[in-house]
Amino acid sequence: MINVIPFIITISQGIHFCTEEVVKNEKAITIATSIKQVIQTYHGRGFNVQNIMGDGQFEKIRKLLDGSGINLNITGHDEHIQAVERLIHTVKERTRANANELPFETYPHPLIVEMVYNIMFWINSFPHKDGIHNKLSPRTIMTGTHIDHNKHCKLEFGSYVQVYKQHDNSLLPIKSGTLALRPTGNAHGAHYFLSLDMGRRNCPCHTPTRSSMQKIQQNLRM
């Protein structure tokens, strides 16, 4: 959990591809659904998942994985999977660092979730020192796409940005205030944004216009 928000976090051996998903609860069916989505991601790239290692919390999904041909290996009492624990510590440390760099007084639930997603995006975007390839990042191996600095590094997380929104010929505003979240990773360099009007993530946009950072605190205080 991060700030009482539950996440399912995974990492694969060899590839070192990391995934995270915020979940609404820690019930067996919720956890199993999240794990199955991760498995489908690997199957989509031609990898065959044979073993899953987890701590005692994942014992309750064993029956839900019956028939999948996957061996579920659960650790003993008070034991943990070292690679996952190290990843969780890394994500939490970077989340704290990221949060303390921002000039906000309040961190809404969606902003914390997107902060974690952004951190995991960049963890996957660089080759792992113990990975199966010394030049290809885990993200490239699993998605087939590459990160371009000129396209995907234009905006820093939390930057105040005004983006165009759908409008007609009326005199209503054609832009809305948002916070930059993270790149989508597509070839066009689109980004996700958090709408300050609606308090949720906007559709991807690749034509943002920067505005003054001085407006951030005024718009986000709640």
DSSP 154-215: SS-TT-EEEEE----SSSS-SEEEEEEEEE---TT--EEEEETTTSSBPPPBS--EE--TTH
Sheet holding 191-195, edge to edge: 191-195, 175-183, 160-164, 209-210
Pairwise CA distance, residues 162 & 178, whole Å: 6
Instruction: Give the residue among 13, 183, 14, 31 at the shortest CA–CA distance from 22.
Output: 31
User: Quick one: pLDDT at residue 66?
Assistant: 86
How many angstroms separate the CA atoms of 169 and 40, rounded?
Answer: 45
Q: Which domains does the chain have, with CATH numbers?
A: 1-146 (3.30.420.10), 148-222 (2.30.30)
Of 160, 98, 112, whose CA–CA distance to 1 is shortest? 112
Please tell me the predicted confidence (pLDDT) of residue 31: 95
Helix axes 82-101, 109-123, angle to 10 degrees: 120
What integer pLDDT is reported at residue 126 of this predicted model?
95
Are 139 and 181 in contact by the 8 Å Cβ rule? The answer is no
pTM of full prediction above 0.75 = yes
d(CA 92, CA 89): 5
Residue by residue, pLDDT tens for the chain (222 residues) are: 888 899 999 999 999 999 999 999 999 999 999 999 999 999 999 999 999 999 988 999 999 988 888 999 999 887 889 999 999 999 999 999 999 999 888 888 999 999 999 999 999 999 999 999 989 999 999 999 999 999 999 899 999 988 877 667 777 777 788 999 999 998 888 899 998 888 888 766 654 444 434 444 444 444
pLDDT of residue 189: 86
- Give the closest residue to 193 by CA, choosing from 206, 180, 176, 183: 180
